[in-house]
Each structure stands twice: as structure tokens, then as C-alpha cells.
Amino acid sequence: MEIINLPRLRVKELQTLSENSLSICDGITELKPAIDLVQTTLNAFKRGMLKEQASAANKKELDADRAIYISCFFKNVSAEKHDPTLIPEVRETLERMCQITDKYGTKITRLSYNEETAAVDNLLTELKQIDTQAIDKGVMRWIPLIEKANNDFKAANDAYIAERAKADSIESATSLAPTLQHALEELFTQMFAHAKLSTNEPIRIAYAELETLVKSFN
């Protein structure tokens, strides 16, 4: 029986090792203060993990959807304008729509998130000022999709900002890792002392399990 030394661990490995160690030590009353310290530190560590995982992934997906709908709409308007069977009134309406889509162009999808969101709002406002009742539904079906995608992006952006603001008040898992590792080492040291000096069989068995657990991370 030797005292357990922790190997070099990645952040997620440290969480797994801590959780498994607590499971092995569960119910050992002689070590309750050390166990409670690991549990408390681990809880803070896991909150820090959530902070570090906060990302703008959802925003990227919604922005990609929005860009596709805008591109499809612009292409549909341009293609429809060249239909030789159009009556003059419809052609004139499509010309007006093309003037708007040309003004924004494909560059609208290359703007920053906030600039693109505002630009899409402006695009939709201008389009709503045109009487489009006679325009083919295949063209117009993209407008509600664009509007919904833009609103979904706004909601996701608001949620992301709120999430980041909340996360800023939480210490990161990376900065808490040394504290958690120290708490684990203290638990292992106390467990070693009890296992070495005590005749308590459950503690000796638990320590042997901890040795096997830690070796699995080497």
C-alpha cells in the first residue's frame, strides 16, 4: 500500500476522477470533512465547466439558416423577374423588389452579427412597403422564413448575452482545478493514514479501489 499521487490530468479527467472518488468514499464517516471539502469544491468546479462551455454555437447555426433564406429569396426575385409571361404590373413590382435586394446584395450576409440583424430588419421593412399580392407565392414564401430566422437570432443573442453575464460571476474550472486537486490529495492522504493504521476493512477496501481508479488515469 502506497500513498496515492495524482497524475497530470485534463480538466474533464479531473471531474471524472473526483466524482468516482466520492462514490468510492461515500459513507466513510471518518473522512466526512475531507469528503465534504471535495464535494463542495467539485460543485464549484462543475459550475466553472459550464461557464467555459458557454459558446455562440447556436447563434452561428441560426445565422447560417438566415443567410440561406436571404440568398434563396434574392435568387428567386431575380429569376422571377425574367419570366417572359409576366404582366407589366407584376414585372414592375419585381423590378422594385430587385432594386431593394440589389441595394443590400449578398454582402448583407457578410456583415457582423449585429449589423446583419439590423440590415435584415431594414430589408423587411422596405419590402413590406410594396404591394406584393400579385407576386408568386414561391418567391414570397421566403420572407416569413427570413423574418422568423432574424427574430430567432435576436432571441439567441439575448440569451447568449445573459448567459455570458451570469458566467462572468463564476470562477472558471481551469482556475479551480488546483484547488480541487489539492482537496483530492488531502482526501487520499487521510484515507491512506486510516487504511495504514486502522483495522477498518471497508476503508482498506476503499483505498485499494482508489489506487486502481487513479492508476487507470495514468
DSSP-assigned letter for residue 185: H
Average pLDDT over residues 12-40: 94
| Residue 154 grid coordinates | 435576436
Does 112 share its domain with 143?
A: yes
Is the pTM above the cut of 0.95? no
Output the pLDDT for position 197: 84
Q: What is the pLDDT of residues 71-91, one digit of tens each?
A: 999 999 999 999 999 999 999
User: Residue for cell digits 423577374?
Assistant: 81
pLDDT band at residue 170 under the 50/70/90 scheme = low
Does 208 share its domain with 191?
A: yes
pLDDT band at residue 53 under the 50/70/90 scheme = low
Q: What whole-number distance in Å separates Cα of residue 90 and Cα of residue 77?
A: 12
Q: What whole-number distance in Å separates Cα of residue 84 and Cα of residue 128?
A: 25
Q: How far is CA 192 from the centre of its chain?
A: 40
Does 100 share its domain with 122?
A: yes
Q: Is 109 a domain residue?
A: yes
* Range of the structural domain that residue 137 is part of: 57-167
Q: Is 4 a domain residue?
A: no
Q: What whole-number distance in Å separates Cα of residue 139 and Cα of residue 149?
A: 17
* AA letter at 54: A
CA nearest to 71, candidates 63, 82, 60: 63
Q: Is 1 a domain residue?
A: no
Q: Is 184 a domain residue?
A: yes
Residue 107, pLDDT > 70, answer: yes
Q: What whole-number distance in Å separates Cα of residue 1 and Cα of residue 8?
A: 21
Output the pLDDT for position 94: 94
Per-chain mean pLDDT for the chain: 89
Q: What is the pLDDT of residues 176-192, one digit of tens each?
A: 899 999 999 999 999 99
Q: Is 70 a domain residue?
A: yes
| Residue 31 grid coordinates | 473522512
Question: 2-35 as b/e, with b when 16 or more CB fall inside 10 Å?
Answer: eebeeeebebeebbebbebbbebbeebebbeebb
